[in-house]
A and B are shown apart, each in its own frame.
Chain A
């Protein structure tokens, strides 16, 4: 088989696994965003038990390797809760990433000047109204670039769920290798497919940053 045909053959073998990689990434990151927002807001809620709980959540999840968390949730909790591989994988990545996103969201909100809270309050807005109409719209612009980094990292880390037998891109690569014993080209192409997806994401996030840019203010001036 010549190199071109071999590459085509490998790509054909890998292609059906791409939707699983996308599904794990999108679902776990969505979960991470929701949990991250809740934990991030808890950290600045001023309610002491909630603050402590949220800080503990972040410290624990950031301090344990994701792979260990996947094993723990799939093998440890999975048996008790009857979790499937897919659910366990999405849950593990989603929870782990929510800790990083909580920090990003918290620091994004805290980066907004105190005067903005005071201006909103002086106009009679409640805390919730100030958060929704004044603080979050500004914080979003600060949050997008680091959150986009996490999204890309999340896509790459989705390869870890290959270990619990989910047939995503990396798993498909291993299967191809164990059938045909072609290592160099297989892993090169697996890498290229990941790279294509992350570059696509980078483009998407640039677009988002642009959309949230404000004229004459902060990054990405739009005229």
Chain B
């Protein structure tokens, strides 16, 4: 990365749906190679906040910078900035008409204009990284949920993102498949990828996160190392939440 600041910087960002304030004048810096896990009750604005970070939601106020470049959904540069922010969705959102290899190679070919062979080689390499070398020709409908989510991670990685966003990546999975996806995410974290993860996997947060954020009503109520936030939350709302889920 060619700048010294944080990988992602949010300043005073707000998002409303009608009268409902979902993200409330929030500031956040995420350092390069930092792994941040965001927790909070449903409706606390976690997913919406994450979607603001790649411009899928338009901000009502505030600014977001990725690698020092302003993310502005009203501007043509949005596509270039988004290409640098990988996103993994709860429902995978693989392209059902393409096999695993083409799912991963499509954006590098169309957005980065890589030559076909180079894009396919790179896609093979990314799929190998998530342990799916044997499934290159499989279509999404022929893959298990865990395999689909790993293809989705490989697809995001193919764009060489500076930041990876995970929106409840294991919430739609059968319990026996959660482990394989978390393992891939753990490897990714260890390789130095900057990651922002919305998840209910407390174990993952405790083990992998550098920082855990507790969010409620669009505000950050707690932010700190996993042990501190999970074991000794200071804010009563956070305490109440962790008493229920831990």
Binding site for B on A (CB under 8 A): 113, 115-116, 118-126, 129, 133-134, 137-138, 141, 214-218
CB nearest to B95 among chain A residues:
A134
CB nearest to A119 among chain B residues:
B93
B142 partner residues in chain A, CB cutoff 8 A: 215-216
Given A124-B159, A125-B79, A217-B139; A119-B95 close (CB under 8 Å): yes
Q: How far is the CB of A14 from chain B (nearest CB, A)?
A: 43
Give Cα distance in the complex from A217 to B142, angstroms. Answer: 8
A123 partner residues in chain B, CB cutoff 8 A: 82-83, 106-107, 111, 155-156, 159
B218 partner residues in chain A, CB cutoff 8 A: none
The 4 closest A-B pairs by CB, nearest first: A124-B83, A216-B141, A123-B107, A119-B93
Q: How far is the CB of A58 from chain B (nearest CB, A)?
A: 28
B97 partner residues in chain A, CB cutoff 8 A: 137-138, 141, 214, 217
A215 partner residues in chain B, CB cutoff 8 A: 139, 141-142
Q: Does B59 make an interface contact (CB < 8 A)? A: no
Whether the Cβ atoms of B107 and A124 lie closer than 8 Å is yes
Whether the Cβ atoms of B89 and A118 lie closer than 8 Å is yes
Determine which residue in A118, A124, A129 has the highest number of CB atoms from chain B within 10 A of its CB, and name it.
A124
Whether the Cβ atoms of A116 and B95 lie closer than 8 Å is yes
B87 partner residues in chain A, CB cutoff 8 A: 118-119, 122
Given A215-B139, A216-B139, A217-B140; A124-B93 close (CB under 8 Å): no
Whether the Cβ atoms of B106 and A121 lie closer than 8 Å is no
Whether the Cβ atoms of A214 and B159 lie closer than 8 Å is no
Whether the Cβ atoms of B89 and A125 lie closer than 8 Å is no
Binding site for A on B (CB under 8 A): 54-56, 79-80, 82-87, 89, 91, 93-97, 106-107, 110-111, 139-142, 155-156, 159
A119 partner residues in chain B, CB cutoff 8 A: 87, 89, 93-95
Given contacts A115-B89, A123-B159, A125-B111, 19 further A-B contacts (CB under 8 A): A115-B91, A118-B56, A118-B89, A118-B93, A119-B89, A119-B95, A122-B89, A123-B107, A123-B155, A124-B83, A124-B107, A125-B79, A133-B106, A134-B95, A138-B97, A141-B97, A214-B97, A215-B141, A217-B96
Q: How far is the CB of B136 from chain A (nearest CB, A)?
A: 14
Give Cα distance in the complex from A118 to B83, angstroms. Answer: 12
Give Cα distance in the complex from A217 to B141, angstroms. Answer: 6
Whether the Cβ atoms of A125 and B86 lie closer than 8 Å is no
B89 partner residues in chain A, CB cutoff 8 A: 115, 118-119, 122
Whether the Cβ atoms of A126 and B85 lie closer than 8 Å is no
Whether the Cβ atoms of B139 and A214 lie closer than 8 Å is yes
A137 partner residues in chain B, CB cutoff 8 A: 97
Whether the Cβ atoms of A121 and B82 lie closer than 8 Å is yes
Q: How far is the CB of B116 from chain A (nearest CB, A)?
A: 14
Give Cα distance in the complex from A123 to B56, angstroms. Answer: 11
Give Cα distance in the complex from A186 to B94, angstroms. Answer: 56
CB nearest to A126 among chain B residues:
B79
Determine which residue in B94, B106, B107 has the highest number of CB atoms from chain A within 10 A of its CB, and name it.
B107
A214 partner residues in chain B, CB cutoff 8 A: 96-97, 139, 141
Q: How far is the CB of A112 from chain B (nearest CB, A)?
A: 10
Whether the Cβ atoms of A125 and B110 lie closer than 8 Å is yes
A-B contact pairs, 25 of them (CB 8 A): A118-B93, A119-B94, A119-B95, A120-B107, A122-B85, A122-B89, A122-B156, A123-B107, A123-B155, A123-B156, A124-B80, A124-B84, A124-B111, A124-B159, A126-B79, A129-B110, A137-B97, A138-B96, A138-B97, A141-B97, A214-B141, A215-B139, A216-B142, A217-B96, A217-B140
